[in-house]
Chain A
């Protein structure tokens, strides 16, 4: 065992103080030590993107960061997307466009899409395809995910 480090981070606005083993990934800290299990782990080596979360509003692989590196950071996960009973436009668009089947990859796709649409609300279809190519889905064949994110982009833009 290596020496534990005390860190403080926020997840969806809530404060957490955790004593972490440095080898724990951020994903493990979020799931196992902060109890936020909406973030899924697929490959655990940065390929699949299921664990994508927003770190200080930027989409990152939470399996490729150590929890100890998240000290002082603002983390956003899928649990923070809905506003009370009201789903986020991306969540609605995923439901309306049948953009998920088993749902395992969905939290990663939602956080990736949230990050990019917040950073680039006017992103082109082509650039969106490039961004979405970062994550893997074994069910849908991607067409409906792309459709849903485009729909959410248009919806979010119209809502201003």
Chain B
């Protein structure tokens, strides 16, 4: 199938891009980044944007950098850039471990980190990473910049708190300390397919006790988020099979799983308990 007709714009600066977005968003104008999710929905005619504002020629959006204690990922940074660590330390390695689970090699060459976050598919690995690590989204419109914490960004399936005239210019992720341990687990039925459930866990040890645990779950609910009930189980405890199992069960109990024709809620809940437990075991190993 072929996409419906649209007007094409190729700005070369952010100012130009957000001005075009402000002008055309009210008439269903959209940003086009990697297009690996948007173009298929256009081919199906599920999306029929009247204007596409292609940001691939905006050079300043392709930057990835460490500023202070934060990794800044620009709007056109591709998934494939994470195939090797983009920064020293734990965060760079974590992102490299995760990227292997995103779609397939050719898709990763074109699709973007920020595009995935803005698209907000519940099964998006980058959305879950952003939620788990308390990323900050930088929303840019022609009237200025707005910082949105991840916890206030993801609303529901493919719905975020970005306004229609805002470009997700950058995602900022706090750098992880060298003593942070992590585990990532995902389950799907075919390589590269959408996650039925997935989790990312991180924590540190202080005097042998778990400190600052983050347990994020994605793919299971309508949006990715940290599960505070499970984190509370871990805080101040010595890592052990029992405590990991208790945290995993708490995560499974706390979520409100999606259902579809192939996967019922109880299955997603059980799967989430297993994945959280495995991720914690991986983090501890």
Question: Is there a chain B Cβ closer than 8 Å to A138's Cβ?
Answer: no
List chain B residues, Cβ under 8 A from A130.
100, 105, 191
Question: Is there a chain A Cβ closer than 8 Å to B40's Cβ?
Answer: yes
Q: Are B109 and A45 in contact (CB under 8 A)?
A: no
Partner-binding segment picked from A20-28, A86-94, A98-106, A151-159: A20-28
Q: Are B2 and A22 in contact (CB under 8 A)?
A: no
Q: How far is the CB of A125 from chain B (nearest CB, A)?
A: 15
List chain B residues, Cβ under 8 A from A107.
none
Q: Are B105 and A131 in contact (CB under 8 A)?
A: yes
Question: Is there a chain A Cβ closer than 8 Å to B107's Cβ?
Answer: yes
Question: Is there a chain B Cβ closer than 8 Å to A61's Cβ?
Answer: yes
List chain B residues, Cβ under 8 A from A28.
2
Q: Are B4 and A23 in contact (CB under 8 A)?
A: yes
Partner-binding segment picked from A11-19, A62-70, A74-82: A62-70
Number of B residues contacting the other chain (C-beta, 8 Å)? 27
List chain A residues, Cβ under 8 A from B36.
46, 61, 64
Within 8 A of A (CB), among B202-230: none
Question: Is there a chain B Cβ closer than 8 Å to A60's Cβ?
Answer: yes
Question: Is there a chain A Cβ closer than 8 Å to B1's Cβ?
Answer: yes
Q: A46-B39, A61-B110, A130-B191 are in contact. Are A116 and B105 (CB under 8 A)?
A: yes
Assembled-state Cα–Cα distance A14/B55 (Å):
27
Q: Are A45 and B44 in contact (CB under 8 A)?
A: yes
List chain B residues, Cβ under 8 A from A25.
2-3, 39
List chain A residues, Cβ under 8 A from B35.
64-66
Number of A residues contacting the other chain (C-beta, 8 Å)? 32
Smallest CB gap from A132: residue in B: B105
List chain B residues, Cβ under 8 A from A59.
105-106, 109
Q: Are B100 and A58 in contact (CB under 8 A)?
A: no
Q: How far is the CB of B76 from chain A (nearest CB, A)?
A: 12
Q: How far is the CB of B62 from chain A (nearest CB, A)?
A: 14
Partner-binding segment picked from B5-13, B17-25, B153-161, B270-278: B5-13
Q: Which of B8, B52, B56, B110 contacts A64 (CB 8 A)?
A: B110
Assembled-state Cα–Cα distance A23/B1 (Å):
11
Q: A46-B39, A134-B192 are in contact. Are A61 and B5 (CB under 8 A)?
A: no
Q: Which of A23, A63, A116, A133 contacts B192 (CB 8 A)?
A: A133
Q: Which of A22, A45, A115, A134 contacts B52 (CB 8 A)?
A: A22
Q: Are B107 and A134 in contact (CB under 8 A)?
A: yes
Interface string of B40-55 (1 = CB under 8 A from A): 1001100000001010
Most buried by B among A5, A21, A69: A69
Smallest CB gap from A5: residue in B: B8
List chain A residues, Cβ under 8 A from B282.
none
List chain B residues, Cβ under 8 A from A65.
35, 39, 110
List chain B residues, Cβ under 8 A from A2.
5-8
List chain B residues, Cβ under 8 A from A5.
8
Q: A3-B7, A116-B105 are in contact. Are A23 and B2 (CB under 8 A)?
A: yes
Q: Which of B2, B44, B54, B104 contacts A134 (CB 8 A)?
A: B104
Q: How far is the CB of B116 from chain A (nearest CB, A)?
A: 14
Assembled-state Cα–Cα distance A123/B147 (Å):
41
Q: Are B100 and A23 in contact (CB under 8 A)?
A: no
Question: Is there a chain B Cβ closer than 8 Å to A1's Cβ?
Answer: yes
Q: Which residues of B contact A (CB under 8 A)?
A: 1-8, 10, 35-36, 39-40, 43-44, 52, 54, 56, 100, 104-107, 109-110, 191-192
